[in-house]
Amino acid sequence: MKEGATHVESLDPQHELQVADPSGLEIPYEPTSTARRMTLNMGPQHPSTHGVLRVVLELDGETILSARPEIGFLHTGIEKEFEVKKYQQGIPLTDRVDYLSNLGNNLGYSLAVERLLQLEIPPMAQWMRVMLCELSRVSSHLTWLGTHALDIGAMSVYFYCFREREEILKLFEMFSGQRMMTSYIRIGGLALEPPRGWQKVTANIIPRLAKGIEEYHNLLSSNPIFVNRTKGVGGLPVDLLLELGVTGPMVRAGGIKMDARKDAPYSSYEKFDFEVPTRTENDVYARYEVRMEEMRQSLRIAKQALDGMPSGPWQAHAPQVLLPDREKMKTQMESLIYHFKIVTEGFRVPEGSVYQVVESPRGELGFYVVSDGSAKPHRVFMRTPSFGNLQALGALLEGVPIADSIAIMGSMDFVLGDVDR
Amino acid sequence: MLPDFAAQNPVAAELEKAIPGALIDAKSPTDGLVLYISSQFIAAAGNYMKEKAGFERLTAITGVDWWPREPRFEIVYFLHSIKKNARLRLVVRAKESDPIESVSRVWRGANWYEREVFDLFGVQFYNHPNLERIMMPSDWEGYPLRKDYPVHGHKYSYQDE
Indicate which CATH number applies to the domain containing B73. Answer: 3.30.460.80
Burial of A246 (0-12, 13-18, 19+ CB in 10 A): buried
Strands B73-81, A379-383: pairing kind: unpaired
Radius of gyration of chain A (CA): 24
Chain A CA closest to residue B78: A355
Q: Establish if A355 touches chain B: CB-CB under 8 angstroms.
A: yes
pLDDT of B4 > 80? The answer is no
pLDDT of A225 > 60? The answer is yes
Min Cα separation B54/chain A (Å)? 13
Record: contact A368-B136, CB cut-off 8 A: no
Distance from C-alpha of B136 to C-alpha of B119, rounded to nearest angstrom: 7
CB atoms within 10 A of CB A125: 24
Confidence of residue B149 (pLDDT cuts 50, 70, 90): confident
Min Cα separation B58/chain A (Å)? 7
Mean pLDDT, residues A290-315 taken together = 91
pLDDT of A14 > 80? The answer is no
Distance from C-alpha of A147 to C-alpha of A420, rounded to nearest angstrom: 21
Record: contact B31-A381, CB cut-off 8 A: no
Record: contact A264-B85, CB cut-off 8 A: yes
Name which of A79, A84, A357 is nearest B145 (Cβ-Cβ).
A79
Chain B CA closest to residue A383: B60
The predicted structure's pLDDT at residue A62: 85
The predicted structure's pLDDT at residue A29: 54
Chain B residues in contact with A93 (beta carbon < 8 A): none
Name which of B87, B109, B137 is nearest A388 (Cβ-Cβ).
B109
The predicted structure's pLDDT at residue A16: 47
The predicted structure's pLDDT at residue A171: 92
B96 occurs within a structural domain: yes
For A247-294, write each residue's pLDDT tens digit. Answer: 999 999 988 888 889 888 988 899 999 999 998 888 899 999 999 999
Name which of B56, B109, B144 is nearest A391 (Cβ-Cβ).
B109
Q: For each of the domains in chain A, give its residue range(s) and CATH number, in order of start.
A: 13-70 (no CATH), 78-420 (1.10.645.10)
Mark B122-144 as b/e (b = at least 16 C-beta within 10 Å): bbbbeebeebebbbbeeeeeebb
Q: Establish if A391 touches chain B: CB-CB under 8 angstroms.
A: yes
Mean pLDDT, residues A306-317 taken together = 89
Q: Which of B124, B88, B78 is nearest to B9 (CA)?
A: B88
Record: contact A242-B57, CB cut-off 8 A: yes
Distance from C-alpha of A139 to C-alpha of A407, rounded to nearest angstrom: 21
The predicted structure's pLDDT at residue B6: 65
B27, B104, B151: best to mutate for the A interface, most A CBs within 10 A:
B151
B158 contacts: CB under 8 Å, gap ≥ 6: none
Confidence of residue A9 (pLDDT cuts 50, 70, 90): very low
Q: What is the model's pTM?
A: 0.87
B160 occurs within a structural domain: no
B11 occurs within a structural domain: yes
Confidence of residue B7 (pLDDT cuts 50, 70, 90): low
Q: Which of A30-44, A166-180, A281-295, A307-321 has the lowest mean pLDDT?
A: A30-44
pLDDT of B58 > 80? The answer is yes
Question: What are B's interface residues with A at a Cβ cutoff of 8 A?
Answer: 29-32, 34, 56-60, 62, 64-65, 76, 78, 82, 85, 87, 89, 107-109, 111-113, 120, 133-137, 144-145, 147, 149, 151
The predicted structure's pLDDT at residue A13: 47
Min Cα separation A348/chain B (Å)? 19
CA A175-A176-A177 angle, 5° bins: 110
Phi, psi for B2 (deg, rounded to 5) = -80, 145
Chain B CA closest to residue A355: B31
Q: Which of A34-38, A121-125, B156-160 has the lowest mean pLDDT?
A: B156-160
Count of domains forming chain B: 1
At A175, which helix (H) or strand (E)?
Answer: helix A155-176
| Helix, strand or coil, per DSSP, at residue B79 | strand
Mark A28-40 as b/e (b = at least 16 C-beta within 10 Å): eeeeeeeebbeee
Distance from C-alpha of B72 to C-alpha of B63, rounded to nearest angstrom: 10
Give the alpha-carbon dihedral of A81, A84, A90, A94, to 10 degrees: 10
Record: contact B145-A356, CB cut-off 8 A: no
The answer to whether B60 and B6 are in contact (CB under 8 A) is no
Record: contact B144-A80, CB cut-off 8 A: yes
Strands A379-383, A363-371: pairing kind: antiparallel
Record: contact A356-B58, CB cut-off 8 A: no
Q: Establish if A420 touches chain B: CB-CB under 8 angstroms.
A: yes
Distance from C-alpha of A121 to C-alpha of A363, rounded to nearest angstrom: 25
B50 occurs within a structural domain: yes
Chain A residues in contact with B145 (beta carbon < 8 A): 79-80
Confidence of residue A11 (pLDDT cuts 50, 70, 90): very low
Chain B CA closest to residue A380: B64
| Helix, strand or coil, per DSSP, at residue B88 | strand
The predicted structure's pLDDT at residue A28: 54
Estimate the share of chain B in helix, then strand, then coil, as percent rounded to the nearest 5: 25, 25, 50
Q: Which of A100-104, A116-120, A305-309, B4-8 has the lowest mean pLDDT?
A: B4-8
CB atoms within 10 A of CB A318: 17
For B62-90, write each residue's pLDDT tens digit. Answer: 999 998 888 889 999 999 998 888 888 99
Mean pLDDT, residues A136-140 taken together = 93
ipTM of this complex prediction, to 2 decimal places: 0.90
B143 occurs within a structural domain: no
A273 contacts: CB under 8 Å, gap ≥ 6: A300, A304
Min Cα separation B114/chain A (Å)? 12
Full residue range of the structural domain in which residue B87 is found:
4-126
Record: contact A355-B57, CB cut-off 8 A: no
CB atoms within 10 A of CB A15: 9
Give the percent of chain A with pLDDT over 70.
91
pLDDT of A164 > 80? The answer is yes
Q: Establish if A85 touches chain B: CB-CB under 8 angstroms.
A: no
CB pairs under 8 A between A and B: 86
Q: Which of A32-41, A147-156, A176-185 has the lowest mean pLDDT?
A: A32-41
